[in-house]
Copies of this chain bind each other. A is one copy, B any other.
Amino acid sequence: MTGSVLPSERGMAVDRVVADLTKLRERAPLVHCMTNVVVTGFTANVLLATGASPAMVEAVEESGEFAAIAGALLVNVGTLTAELAGSMRSAVAAARSAGTPWVLDPVAAGALRFRTGFATELLDYAPAIVRGNGSEILSLAGADGAAGKGVDSTAGSDAAVDAARALAAARQCVVAVSGVVDYVTDGAEVIAVPGGHPLMTKVTGVGCALGALMAAFRAVDDSALHAAAAASTVLAAAGERAADRVSGPGSFAVALLDELYTLDAAALEQR
């Protein structure tokens, strides 16, 4: 980790995570997901298990209409096409007008020009949270040579904390960097969320599902900083518990959904 992070870095109070999770389950916020074709089912199942109400609406005829009534919106560019880009533009414009908070997940930004340009363009639509791995955040922050290996990061989350803070300050949003330790920052404060498990990188879509969870938590917590940190904490806790009792990535993915469904205050406090 770079030294500049340390002064303000701290964890998040478990009480607030518990309160957010309770609110999420009570309110079951409607989360409009525009995500990639690889992870649609898993993302929906993560949201359902945690307590939110997911809906994937992609057509340009509907995306703006739905973003305006949803509790939060997720835009993930993992399998971006020109047609989908147009539909996402409608959605984020409507979200901004309607006051619907939205999360940008710039999958593989830095590795491919088309999506890098589009993700950069979307920053102008005032996302509440930008969530990515180290390479993606470095790329959006304008660092040179930030290309990852396909959808995987070639930079640890530690190496991207300064870039995350700068990006958050410049764009007045919250930036979350995922990695061995997750960092969430609003440009001033940095919250570190350690934990999770290496198996989380052996199941497709765990990172993408984290972006969706951040949208769900933002729908019930007005602080994007705390919403993003709560989502990271909940996913890390569920991942640790799931890893305790599995024999590989297949059973891990199943157990992760079960743990998200049953996670309670005691389990969160135990961390």
What is A's interface to B at a CB cutoff of 8 Å?
Answer: 30, 32, 36-42, 44-45, 48-49, 53-62, 65-66, 70, 78-83, 108, 111-115, 149-152, 201-205, 246-251, 253-262
Given contacts A57-B112, A78-B56, contact A256 B250 (CB under 8 A): yes
Q: How far is the CA of A57 from the CA of B107 in the complex (A)?
A: 11
Is the pair B79, A57 in contact by a Cβ cutoff of 8 Å? yes
Q: Which residues of chain B are within 8 angstroms of A44 by Cβ–Cβ distance?
A: 38, 204-205
DSSP majority for the A interface? mixed
* Chain B min CB distance to A206 (Å): 10
* Chain B min CB distance to A92 (Å): 18
Given contacts A48-B202, A49-B248, contact A114 B62 (CB under 8 A): yes
Is the pair B80, A59 in contact by a Cβ cutoff of 8 Å? yes
Is the pair B55, A150 in contact by a Cβ cutoff of 8 Å? yes
Q: Which residues of chain B are within 8 angstroms of A151 by Cβ–Cβ distance?
A: 53-55
Is the pair B253, A258 in contact by a Cβ cutoff of 8 Å? no
Beyond contacts A55-B150, A58-B79, A251-B254: 18 other A-B pairs, Cβ-Cβ < 8 A, are A30-B149, A41-B205, A45-B203, A45-B253, A48-B203, A48-B204, A57-B112, A59-B82, A61-B82, A62-B80, A62-B114, A66-B112, A246-B258, A248-B257, A249-B258, A249-B261, A250-B254, A250-B256
Q: Indicate how many identical chains form the complex.
A: 3
Q: Which residues of chain B are within 8 angstroms of A204 by Cβ–Cβ distance?
A: 41, 44-45, 48, 54
Q: Considering only CB atoms, which chain B residue lies closest to A263 in the complex?
A: B248
Is the pair B249, A45 in contact by a Cβ cutoff of 8 Å? yes
Q: Considering only CB atoms, which chain B residue lies closest to A256 in the complex?
A: B250
Q: Which residues of chain B are within 8 angstroms of A54 by Cβ–Cβ distance?
A: 150-151, 204
Q: How far is the CA of A81 from the CA of B87 in the complex (A)?
A: 10
Partner of A152 from the list B53, B60, B203, B257 (CB cut-off 8 Å) is: B53
Q: Which residues of chain B are within 8 angstroms of A78 by Cβ–Cβ distance?
A: 56
Q: How far is the CA of A82 from the CA of B65 in the complex (A)?
A: 16
Is the pair B53, A79 in contact by a Cβ cutoff of 8 Å? no
Q: Considering only CB atoms, which chain B residue lies closest to A152 in the complex?
A: B53
